[in-house]
Amino acid sequence: MGKFINVTTFTFAICTAMCFSVAGTSFTRAAFTTIERYFGVSSTKISIYASFNQMAAIIVTPTAVHLTRNMHIPRILYFSFLAKAVGFIILVLPYFLGPTYHPDGVLNAERNDSLNEENIFCRNEAQQDTTRNSMGLWEYCIPISKVIIGLGGCLIWPHSISFIDNNSKQGQSLVLFGLNFVGILFGPMLAYGFASYVLSLWVNFTYECAPEWVDPNGSDWIGAWWVGYVIAAAALLVFSTPLAFFPRNLKDENKLDEETDDKDENLVLKDHFEDEDKNTIKKTSSSMISETKALFKNPLFVMQVLAGIVNSWAMATKATFGQKYMEIQFGLSPADASQLKVYYIGSLCLGFLVGGLIVKKLKLKPFNVAIFLLVVQTFYSVTFLLLWSLEGCSPQTPDMLFGANEEQNLADCDCRTDKFVPVCGKNVTMDGYLFEELTILSPCKAGCSDVDVTYSTEEKELFGCPVISEGVHSRKYINCAVPVETGICGAIECKSKVWIYLGLVCLGTFFSGINGSPGTVFLLRSVGSERKPYAMSILGTCMKLFGWLPAPIIYARLFDSLCAVKGSLDNCVFYDNTAVRHFYFGINAVIAVLYTLINCGFLTVFWKRYKSDKPMWGDMDMDKPF
């Protein structure tokens, strides 16, 4: 059994657990718009609730890492994953115990029998449903779960990275870090890939089908968001278990048996919790303060912290709003956008692997690695400037959307302006101008009275038995005031724009990933070996406090401020897309350029120290390849 207990198997075990841990966390971003609709809250509110994850980690990470650094790290990691599983379970309680979601029109139809039975859209939109106007106190399950997830996850990153590095042979850590990053990034791939399927299912699919008049591309559609969290929690309970059986020190696993491990652990616990006197807190605080001062006297560490903070802004905004941006700019459903997000998560994984292999195969020395990081970052910045100039396909301004104003209506009834179910109308007159094609807010605004849904069936075999699957083949609106087609205008031409956008995003993400493994190793080599876990925790805390925490909230406020059509509750269903594009990629382009400038400063400081007679910070060996 001992031969299977090594740093490679530990990396595999931690990667598997982290994969499902990150998948559960990423599912919030994959289902961001869906969760907004289900709880009826704004992007700002969801971002604030989600930030409780970062707040909890910021408060406890440095102290928790410092106090647990001499404990049994694999078992500490095991209990951390269990805490995250509990957080995921709390997050889905509103679905199982809270009010049931019904589209407004279903309930409206039941209580408006006197209305025109031949026009389902007029009947459904005649009155706004107030039966389920909010989730009430159930929405507070989101911040509660996020706090628990943050507390559970605060120790995983710094301890796992330093544990792998401390137990690796020379040159082995680069490859293991690359595998670790790929394992972690496979979690978002799994989350987005799975979200593309479950978000195409009706939220209550276990006991009812979606009403035919609810368009999967419309704002009334709610996918089965809760399924992803249930699977993530179950997977964590199973795949984190092997971590509890690893010894404290992998380099000496043949010399340490289980009895010695338990004895050592009891001694450590005794030192921490029984034999310490009242001066323990003072000693711990003094030690943390002295280590923090020592780290921030290291210019390389300071520059990397600044770069990490700036880069975390870009990472936080892309991770939180990257999918939402595709949905509103290209008229995609959450399920379709989640499927596309898998591609550039995959390109990030490829970048991490390629970056580690390039540095290892070329045997680059520290100064060459610094130049390599700067060159790659420059290419990354250029791709954002290109994306900034690429327009989307959805109506770019409210003036290009018929029906956004209450006066714009082709129907004989009062249609609501709090839902977005786009159809493309032909030969539409708006403000005295005739448009050959114009996107209309909803079928009701287009004067449609009904919808004809045709289904396609496909027969497959499962374990030798025939299985018939049925899906929507086409959706045709009937008796409209003008000829209409489902979806936004120019949907066919839009597909090419989507792939151009996706290609540029994948290219930029690939460049970003290339810097991942070398940059992490550079950080670890620039501080003393005894300070590696604490340095990682300080970096992580700074990135969360100044990047991951404020960035999504600020961006969400900007998104909400650009809302052109608000839903029946507090969520937005249509934005001023031109303004969204300018602020989203404009700010990210500025961040990318600033990050490049910080890297230039880092290279300058590194070069001056390298040319002096003084030893490099962290006692880095300048002649030894990474």
Instruction: Output 492-496 pairs: Cβ under 8 A, ≥24 positions apart.
Output: 493/393, 494/330, 494/331, 494/393
170-200 confidence digits (pLDDT tens): 666 667 776 777 777 788 888 888 898 899 8
Is the confidence at residue 212, as pLDDT, over 80? no
Is the confidence at residue 87, as pLDDT, over 60? yes
Give the pair of three-digit tokens for residue 328: 């509103």
| Assigned CATH for 2-98+135-393+494-619 | 1.20.1250.20
546 vs 524, residue with greater confidence: 546
437-448 confidence digits (pLDDT tens): 999 988 888 888
Interior angle at CA 361, CA 358 and CA 362, nearest 5 = 80
Distance, in Å, from the CA atom of 393 to the CA atom of 332, rounded to the nearest integer, reads 10
313 vs 169, residue with greater confidence: 313
| Three-class SS state of 86 | helix
Other beta carbons within 10 angstroms of residue 432's beta carbon come to 5
Ranges 104-118, 210-224, 416-430: which has the least confidence: 104-118
Handedness of CA 237, 238, 242, 245 (dihedral sign): positive
DSSP 8-state assignment for residue 615: P
Q: What share of the chain is helix, strand, coil (3-state, %, to 5)?
A: 65, 10, 25
**So where are the chain's domains?**
2-98+135-393+494-619, 398-489
Q: Which amino acid is at 94?
A: P
The residue-averaged pLDDT of 406-433 equals 83
88-146 confidence digits (pLDDT tens): 999 999 999 888 887 754 333 333 343 445 567 776 655 444 444 566 788 899 999 99
Contact 183, 13 (CB under 8 A): no
pLDDT attached to residue 147: 92
pLDDT attached to residue 99: 86
Label residues 573-598 b or e (16+ Cβ within 10 Å = b): bbbbbbbbbeebbebbbebbbbbbeb
pLDDT over 70, % of the chain: 84
Handedness of CA 131, 137, 141, 146 (dihedral sign): positive
Q: Cα torsion at 400, 402, 404, 410 (round to 10°)? A: 170
Distance, in Å, from the CA atom of 524 to the CA atom of 105, rounded to the nearest integer, reads 58
pLDDT attached to residue 352: 82
Q: Mean of the per-residue pLDDT values for the chain?
A: 80
Q: 460: which strand partners? A: 467
The residue-averaged pLDDT of 386-396 equals 86
pLDDT attached to residue 501: 92
Ranges 267-281, 419-433, 542-556: which has the least confidence: 267-281
pLDDT attached to residue 40: 85
Ranges 317-331, 461-475, 560-574: which has the least confidence: 461-475
Distance, in Å, from the CA atom of 32 to the CA atom of 334, rounded to the nearest integer, reads 8
Could you tell me which residues come within 8 angstroms of residue 61 by beta carbon, excluding any fewer than 6 positions away? Answer: 154, 155, 158, 537, 540, 541, 544
Tell me phi and psi for residue 401, to 5 degrees: -120, 115
The residue-averaged pLDDT of 561-588 equals 87
557-570 confidence digits (pLDDT tens): 988 999 988 887 78
Nearest one of 470, 471, 482, 472 to 445, comparing CA atoms: 482
18-60 confidence digits (pLDDT tens): 889 989 988 888 899 899 888 888 889 898 998 888 888 778 8
Is the confidence at residue 268, as pLDDT, over 80? no
pLDDT attached to residue 278: 46
pLDDT attached to residue 265: 47
Dmax of the chain from CA atoms?
91
Q: What element of type H or E holds 21?
A: helix 7-30
Distance, in Å, from the CA atom of 565 to the CA atom of 398, rounded to the nearest integer, reads 8
Q: 437: which strand partners? A: 426
